[in-house]
Amino acid sequence: MRNVRALLALLLVVTFAPVAVRTQAPDRSQPPQPGPPPALKLPAIQKRTLTNGIPVWIVEHHQVPIVQVNLVVLSGTGDDPPGKFGIASLTASMLTEGAGTRSALQIADAIDFLGADLSTSSTSDASTVRLNVPVVRISEALPLMADVVQRPTFPESELARQKVQRLTNILQARDDPASISQLAFARVVYGDTHRYGTALAGSAQTIEGFTVADVRAFYETAYQPGNAAIIVVGDITAARALPLLETRFGKWAGQGRPAPHNRSLTEPARQPRQIYIVDKPGAPQSQVRMGWVGVARSTPDYFPITVMNTVLGGSFSSRLNLNLREKHGYTYGANSQFDMRLGAGPFLAAAGIQTDKTADALKEFFAELEGIKQTVPADELTRAKHYISLRYPLGFETTGDIAARLEQALVYRLPDEFFATYIQRIESVTAADVQRVAQKYIDPEHFAVVIAGDRAAIEPGIRALNAGPIKILTVDDVFGPAPNLSK
Amino acid sequence: MKLATVLAVLTLTLAAPAFSQSSLTKIDVKYTQFTLPNGLTVILHEDHSVPLVTTNMWYHVGSAREKPGRTGFAHLFEHLMFMGSQHVKPGEFDDLLENAGGTNNGSTENDRTNYWINVPSNAIQLALFLESDRMGFLLESMTPKTVDAQREVVKNERRQSFENRPYGQAELLLSELLYPPDHPYHWPVIGFMSDLTAASYEDVVEFFKKYYAPSNASFVVAGDIDPVATRKLVEKWFSDVKPGEPVAKLTAPPVALTGVTKRTITDKVQLPRIYVAWLTPPHFAPGDAALDMVADALAGSKNSRLYKRLVYDMQIAQDVVAYQNSQQLSSYFLIQATARPGHTADELLKVIDEEVAKLQRETPPARETQRSINSIEASFLRRLERVGGFGGTADQLNAYFTYTGNAGYFNQDLQRYRSTTSADVRGAAAQYLPKDHRVELTVVPEGAK
């Protein structure tokens, strides 16, 4: 395979075979070799500022007559104060439950009538209000968005609704082996005091306790112009978008000052491997999650880790998937990921394994997690790098794709040249880099292994593996006591 | 579906007319269409927003073609299509694509099976090579061992997506309750476990020969392409794919529910759930679009009737969903709601009945219908943002071609909704959602009553 780096400098030239009058039979003896890869054409980001200081990033994208407007505040669930886990997520939801002079139903009706989508969400590191609207309706939709961001009313009755909705979600998650396993993993790795050990929406205990005052308090620290930025992507020019934004967001004066980011960055101490079983009697599959604390998004090892994880469990042809799915048929799919946040999020490998193969599958998981510490063969490394880098230019297709990438750049303070140098930095990763980060971050001897499955069927086999002490967890250990909702 | 009527070698350039009645939506998806000598219909669409080429193949066969004792086979077969072919060694399909920065997937429904490959535009020939090789030369490399390996994967897909998921069993049961045993929609697409066990290598050979001929497929190449050059490439790569026998049109006896079919099952869940379902007109038949709007009126938004009453006002439901599941032979309309703790499926059903009856009785306000149309118009725009993958423009061209014979059906489809009036919405609810001809499936928590 040719060197991709050298070719990236070339312009996009797709050469087709000379025009033939008759169709000739194709030569199938060798797969056709792709020509020079297309150049990366990055959308131009026009960076402006409203008079109150809110940065605005605009990308003109005239493919389809719609516009995406995202207002990002740099506070997320990672900023939930101790004892208030879930408040960022709840606050984001409450924004659309009454704002300005409109009730929750009136906001929804107005937005739907415009053919718009208005949604809110929180991740660990940011909260975002997103508007997607046909461009001809932008000036009607923006005032609604501005109300939601700047003038939420947080009605008591809506808070009560939201709380019951969320508590019922928890009740339902307790039924779902995949959800149980996912949360149990976070809990055993980070514990119940670290923010990353509890679901984004919080626990039944915290949710039950939330008041309008809690929501308002979080709102006032997080939703401040000094903590916000706006991203606009779509069929609109900067010249048209900016005055609209200035009118709707330029006079927003915060009442407070954003709280300093208060991430609990203390990493849990590494421990010898421990296996946790959450009993789901009769379950036809075991939902398996294993791993430990990974890295923060700011890690200097971002690129080698990205390549290493692609080899291990980040693509269809990754080792975990080829082994557990294609070779053994134990699962519909196995994968691994580094969940990178401002703090060190988890690394985890995951699969749903048919019950009677649980122990066999664990053995294969451990073998692959050990195996990745050996030198990765050149062809496998090249494939992984190409898989990431060659499709990178394709990932700027929709307004949503582009806006999501800009959000990442904002939230993680990525350098200006991040997108432009991405391909080159992936392609520069060496086998030695991959081995180094595998040895540094993949340590299955010290992993937590969580299995939600039929204990009676799987425990003897797991015990026979002698892979570490086994601890039995209840669903209550994972979620806390069930919410009391029957009134 | 029979496609032999499509023009032989003529190339049509069809620019769908722009809509004049609203400045909101101008759908203009240009494409060229031609048919290869082996019968394969090819549709090309240019879109240079990113340097991506997508290939999108629809085989006009789905689980509805399965024979008794072999349910789930069309989907198992879909898995086998990724396992290599005569000139593509096992494992190479994904290996080659990943090496080129490509991604791929496939899916199976009652009426069709589709496959897409997204690649950077420099790898267009690789995608054409892979797609043509498995159409022309799949069996040359197929072995009983390949079938066995994917059989286990598919069984695990069934476990993961249905058996080990809350309410998954109910989803499997619904089609059995709606359609009689001799109807091709009676069984679930994923199939029964025992039938997956029974599927054999011989079945694979038979199915491929019968249904995977070029004349039973349609193929879209879209994205960063030059249509003239791409046509030559498609002609080249598919020129050695042999034609097959024509496939007879799929027929089924007319179906109707004769009364109310009630079923209650238990599951490992905490909350009861009710499913109410009706048999409704096929995709694109009169009534189909109006039923989409009935669904929107009932449960499509926060202000929709059932959401507002069950979830927002009464707070006796955690969620409510309604949709018209449009299919080729017969569709069904489904309302599904999950009870809040302390409430029962019967309480939900009572309110569902009241709201459906009200919609059947009273013409909805014009604004409510307009709100629906506005949302649908916007969704037509959003659907044009992505060219590849499931639901991208290429997939839509292929869907329209497969179900209407006209790949450029975008505006006609949108017009179905635009021309639906409040009276039509009421009328569709009244005609197609009779209280005395439906399925009522209830899931109750294990151990409860």
Searching chain A, which residue's CA lies closest to the CA of residue B134?
A28
Q: Are A112 and B371 a contacting pair at CB < 8 A?
A: yes
Q: What is the pTM of this model?
A: 0.93
Instruction: Name every chain B residue with its beta carbon within 8 A of the beta carbon of A65.
Output: 24-26, 381
Q: How far is B167 from chain A (nearest CA, A)?
A: 10
Average pLDDT estimate for A371-382: 98
Each residue's pLDDT tens digit, A330-372: 999 999 999 999 999 999 999 999 999 999 999 999 999 999 9
Phi and psi angles of residue B351, each rounded to the nearest 5 degrees, phi first: -70, -40
Q: Does the pLDDT of residue B427 top 80, yes or no?
A: yes
Each residue's pLDDT tens digit, B281-330: 999 999 999 999 999 999 999 999 999 999 999 999 999 999 999 999 99
Q: How far is A210 from chain B (nearest CA, A)?
A: 19
Q: What is the rounded end-to-end Cα distance, in angstroms, of chain A?
A: 66
pLDDT for the residue A466 = 97
Neighbours of B5 (CB within 10 A): 6
Q: CATH for B260-445, among 3.30.830.10, 3.40.50.620, 1.10.150.120, 3.40.50.1820?
A: 3.30.830.10
pLDDT for the residue B417 = 97
Each residue's pLDDT tens digit, B238-258: 999 999 999 999 999 899 999
Size of chain B, expressed as the number of residues it contains: 449
Q: Is A235 helix (H, G, I), strand (E, B) or coil?
A: coil
Distances in Å between the Cα of A449 and the Cα atoms of A351, A365, B156, B393 are 12, 10, 21, 42
Q: Are A28 and B371 a contacting pair at CB < 8 A?
A: no
Where in the sequence of chain A do the CATH 3.30.830.10 domains occur? 46-249, 274-408+417-477
Q: Which amino acid is at B361?
A: R
Q: Are B381 and A65 a contacting pair at CB < 8 A?
A: yes
* Partner B, chain A 109-128, Cβ-Cβ below 8 Å: 109, 112-116
Searching chain B, which residue's CA lies closest to the CA of residue A41?
B50
Q: Are A29 and B271 a contacting pair at CB < 8 A?
A: no
pLDDT for the residue A267 = 81
Chains A & B: contacts with CB separation below 8 Å: 264
pLDDT for the residue B447 = 82
Each residue's pLDDT tens digit, A287-345: 999 999 999 999 999 999 999 999 999 999 999 999 999 999 999 999 999 999 999 99
Q: Are B239 and A25 a contacting pair at CB < 8 A?
A: yes
Q: Are A175 and B269 in contact (CB under 8 A)?
A: yes
Each residue's pLDDT tens digit, A434-450: 999 999 999 999 999 99
Q: Are A80 and A195 in contact (CB under 8 A)?
A: yes
Concatenated DSSP letters for B152-184? HHHHHHHIIIIITSTTHHHHHHHHHHHS-TTST
Across B196-285, the runs of DSSP E, i.e. the strands, are 217-223, 260-267, 273-280
Q: Is A299 helix (H, G, I), strand (E, B) or coil?
A: coil
Q: Does the pLDDT of residue B362 top 50, yes or no?
A: yes
Instruction: Name every chain B residue with its beta carbon within 8 A of the beta carbon of A34.
Output: 100, 119-120, 122-123, 125-126
Average pLDDT, chain B: 93
Average the pLDDT over each of A207-211, A253-257, B113-117, B409-413 and give the range with the smallest value.
A253-257
DSSP secondary-structure letter at A152? B
**Neighbour-count burial of A190, counting CB atoms closer than 10 A to its CB (0-12 exposed, 13-18 middle, 19+ buried):** buried
Each residue's pLDDT tens digit, B105-124: 999 999 999 999 999 999 99
Share of chain B above pLDDT 70, in %: 94
Q: Which amino acid is at B113?
A: T
Sign of CA dihedral B61, B63, B67, B73: positive
pLDDT band at A23 (very low <50, low <70, confident <90, very high): low
| Residue among B55, B88, B99 with most chain A CBs within 10 A, to mutate | B99
Q: Which CATH class is domain A46-249?
A: alpha beta
Domain-by-domain residue ranges, chain B? 12-238, 260-445
CA atoms of A454 and A458, how far apart (whole Å): 6
Q: Are A66 and B100 a contacting pair at CB < 8 A?
A: no
Q: Does the pLDDT of residue A16 top 60, yes or no?
A: no
Instruction: Name every chain B residue with its beta carbon within 8 A of the beta carbon of A285.
Output: 156, 159-160, 163-164
pLDDT for the residue A266 = 75
pLDDT for the residue A25 = 86
CA atoms of A318 and A312, how far apart (whole Å): 5
Phi and psi angles of residue A101, each rounded to the nearest 5 degrees, phi first: -100, 5
Each residue's pLDDT tens digit, B51-109: 999 999 999 999 999 998 999 999 999 999 999 999 999 999 999 999 999 999 999 99
| Residue among B25, B369, B385 with most chain A CBs within 10 A, to mutate | B385
DSSP secondary-structure letter at B246? P
Instruction: Name every chain B residue with its beta carbon within 8 A of the beta carbon of A396.
Output: 50
Q: Is A23 on the interface with B (CB under 8 A)?
A: yes
Q: In what order do the strands lie in the sheet with A285-293?
A: A331-338, A346-354, A285-293, A448-453, A274-279, A470-473
* Partner B, chain A 67-106, Cβ-Cβ below 8 Å: 104-105
Instruction: Name every chain B residue with its beta carbon within 8 A of the beta carbon of A287.
Output: 164
* Partner B, chain A 398-437, Cβ-Cβ below 8 Å: 398-400
pLDDT for the residue A11 = 32
* 0.95 surpassed by complex ipTM: no
pLDDT for the residue A18 = 41
Of A20, A38, A132, Cβ closest to residue B232: A20
Q: Does the pLDDT of residue A13 top 60, yes or no?
A: no
Each residue's pLDDT tens digit, A120-166: 999 999 999 999 999 999 999 999 999 999 999 999 999 999 999 99
Domains B12-238 and B260-445 share a fold: yes
CATH number corresponding to B12-238: 3.30.830.10
More confident call, A6 vs A215: A215
The residue with tokens 């036809």 is A284
Each residue's pLDDT tens digit, B5-22: 333 223 333 333 333 344
Instruction: Name every chain A residue with its beta carbon within 8 A of the beta carbon of B161.
Output: 332
DSSP secondary-structure letter at A483? P
| List of residues 6+ apart from A49 with CB closer than 8 A | A55, A56
Q: Are B190 and B15 in contact (CB under 8 A)?
A: no
Average pLDDT estimate for B196-223: 97
Average pLDDT estimate for A88-115: 98
pLDDT for the residue A263 = 63
Q: Are A399 and B224 a contacting pair at CB < 8 A?
A: no
Q: How far is B315 from chain A (nearest CA, A)?
A: 8
The domain made up of A274-408+417-477 has a fold known as: Cytochrome Bc1 Complex; Chain A, domain 1 (3.30.830)
Neighbours of B412 (CB within 10 A): 14
Distances in Å between the Cα of A141 and the Cα atoms of A132, A152, A466 are 9, 16, 60
